[in-house]
């Protein structure tokens, strides 16, 4: 090896060593959900802990920097705790930290004490994004003695806990509502390549909106019935039946038990099982069955993605809100894949927005949602921006499902009174 080659090799190795982040620093960054890199200011090397660009915009945001790892950990802990305090001050939420737990039930209804972990910066920024674009109920809606009791027992706040371990293997995330505990419990120990944590927050907070605004805790409540009918569902004999977009609509329901293939079973308006010819049969086993993919293609309001797991109106609506509210890319995906479902999602979302922010003396909404998910004043300019964005992506012809569902009104009593249909 020549002297020149040897010198170049040593120079590259020394540069590589200079840019190498110590293992202890990498572990500290992982603990706080940050990225760490080496810095050089005025000839002095140090460490910078930053939020990734996808969490804060075009440029990574530096949270802390220095050389002493112990001092950096104390600084990051203080700033993380301040972040949690700020979120709790700005939103009607209670964010649980390590050592706390939710008293909830598992998917089988059995009592479950779910321990939680303290959210890191990465998770907190995603929670904040979801809270800013979702519509949890205001803390001060109730006054007098009722409001005092709510404040005393903290029942007016949404409890957010990130699971310390996979406490409920049957579900990666759940929204709980009850007298003893109300909360969102995403199981964060999941493969980030498989499931986006931010999507989880938007989905679960949409369930919170269903409970708080649409009264989903009472399946026979008229407001909830209107919501489900908007999505193409009909409540018959304590079952939620999904309506098809055929010339003569059919009804199907998804059994919650013994249904590993997620098939749909056909029923009629009286709530009885029927075969492929529409004849009543005396058992579920004899009824017509179709696949989840076929149900997705034939439903009045299709799913926002390929087929999804929208086996109930609550899950169907939560997925639509997730796509609509998260960001411009997810809203565009919903609009591109299913313009009719997009239209219904916008209408339902606007009703929730009106419920929180109200309308003016002319009956116009005071606030509207922009493509990036933010809620802004309903002005001439914001409406124009939204119209331009939608017209840029809308296809000149409607989808087959949308055009069929538009003609359902005069053909069927099932859907002619459906809001948004």
Query: Residue 98: what pLDDT?
Result: 92
First to last CA, the chain: 78
Band the pLDDT of 6: cuts 50, 70, 90: low
* Comparison of pLDDT for 320 and 44, the residue scoring more: 320
Q: Check pLDDT > 70 for residue 354.
A: yes
Give the helix ranges, DSSP H, for 36-120: 53-56, 69-90
Taking alpha carbons only, the member of 273, 302, 298 closest to residue 285 is: 273
Query: Residue 337: what pLDDT?
Result: 87
Contact residues for 389 (Cβ-Cβ < 8 A; gap 6+): 371
| Residue 358, SS3 per DSSP | coil
- Weakest mean pLDDT among 162-171, 210-219, 323-332, 403-412: 403-412
Contact between residue 204 and residue 126 where contact means Cβ atoms under 8 Å apart = no
Helix pair angle (328-337, 339-357), 10° resolution: 130
Average pLDDT, the chain: 80
Neighbouring C-beta atoms of residue 419, cutoff 10 Å: 13
Residue 411 DSSP symbol: G
Band the pLDDT of 322: cuts 50, 70, 90: very high
* Comparison of pLDDT for 308 and 12, the residue scoring more: 308
For the whole model, what pTM was predicted?
0.80
Query: Residue 356: what pLDDT?
Result: 87
Domains annotated on the chain, with CATH:
16-83 (no CATH), 91-212 (3.30.2010), 222-411 (no CATH)
| H/E element, 222 | helix 222-230
Band the pLDDT of 162: cuts 50, 70, 90: confident
Section 259-272 average pLDDT = 91
Share of the chain above pLDDT 90, in %: 48
Band the pLDDT of 242: cuts 50, 70, 90: very high
Contact between residue 181 and residue 157 where contact means Cβ atoms under 8 Å apart = no
Query: Residue 399: what pLDDT?
Result: 42
Q: Check pLDDT > 70 for residue 13.
A: no
Contact between residue 105 and residue 111 where contact means Cβ atoms under 8 Å apart = yes
Give the distance from CA 176 to its chain's centroid: 14
Query: Residue 21: what pLDDT?
Result: 84
**Rounded distance between C-alpha atoms, residue 144 and residue 100, angstroms:** 30
């Amino acid at each position: 090896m020549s002297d020149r080659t040897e010198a170049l090799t040593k120079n590259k190795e020394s540069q590589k060593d200079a840019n190498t982040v110590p293992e202890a620093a990498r572990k500290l960054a992982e603990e706080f959900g940050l990225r760490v890199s080496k810095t050089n200011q005025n000839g002095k090397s140090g460490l910078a802990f930053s939020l990734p660009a996808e969490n804060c915009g075009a440029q990574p945001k530096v949270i802390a920097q220095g050389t002493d790892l112990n001092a950096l950990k104390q600084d990051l802990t203080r700033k993380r705790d301040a972040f949690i305090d700020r979120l709790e001050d700005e939103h009607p939420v209670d964010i649980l930290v390590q050592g706390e737990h939710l008293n909830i039930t598992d998917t089988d209804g059995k009592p479950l004490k779910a321990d939680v972990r303290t959210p890191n910066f990465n998770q907190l920024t995603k929670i904040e994004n979801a809270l800013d674009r979702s519509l949890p109920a205001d803390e001060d809606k109730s006054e007098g003695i009722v409001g005092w009791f709510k404040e005393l027992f903290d029942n007016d706040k949404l409890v957010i806990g990130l699971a310390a371990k996979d406490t409920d293997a049957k579900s990666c995330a759940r929204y709980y509502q009850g007298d003893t505990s109300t909360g969102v419990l995403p199981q964060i120990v999941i493969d980030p390549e498989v499931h986006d944590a931010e999507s989880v927050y938007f989905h679960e907070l949409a369930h919170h909106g269903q409970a708080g605004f649409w009264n989903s805790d009472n399946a026979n409540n008229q407001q909830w019935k209107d919501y489900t009918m908007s999505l193409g569902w009909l409540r018959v004999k304590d079952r939620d039946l999904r309506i098809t977009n055929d010339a003569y609509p059919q009804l199907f329901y998804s059994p919650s038990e013994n249904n590993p293939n997620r098939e749909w079973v056909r029923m009629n308006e009286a709530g009885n099982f029927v075969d492929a010819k529409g004849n009543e049969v005396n058992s579920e086993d004899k009824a017509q069955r179709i696949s989840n993919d076929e149900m997705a293609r034939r439903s009045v309001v299709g799913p926002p993605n390929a087929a999804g797991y929208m086996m109930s109106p609550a899950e169907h609506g939560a997925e639509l809100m997730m796509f609509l509210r998260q960001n411009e890319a997810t809203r565009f995906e919903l609009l591109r894949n299913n313009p009719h479902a997009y239209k219904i999602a916008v209408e339902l979302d606007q009703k929730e927005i009106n419920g929180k922010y109200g309308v003016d003396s002319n009956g116009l909404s005071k606030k509207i949602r922009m493509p990036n998910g933010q809620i802004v004043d309903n002005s001439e300019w914001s409406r124009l921006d939204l119209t331009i964005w939608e017209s840029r992506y809308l296809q000149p012809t409607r989808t087959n499902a949308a055009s069929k569902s538009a003609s359902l009104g005069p053909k069927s009593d099932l859907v002619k009174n459906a809001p948004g249909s």
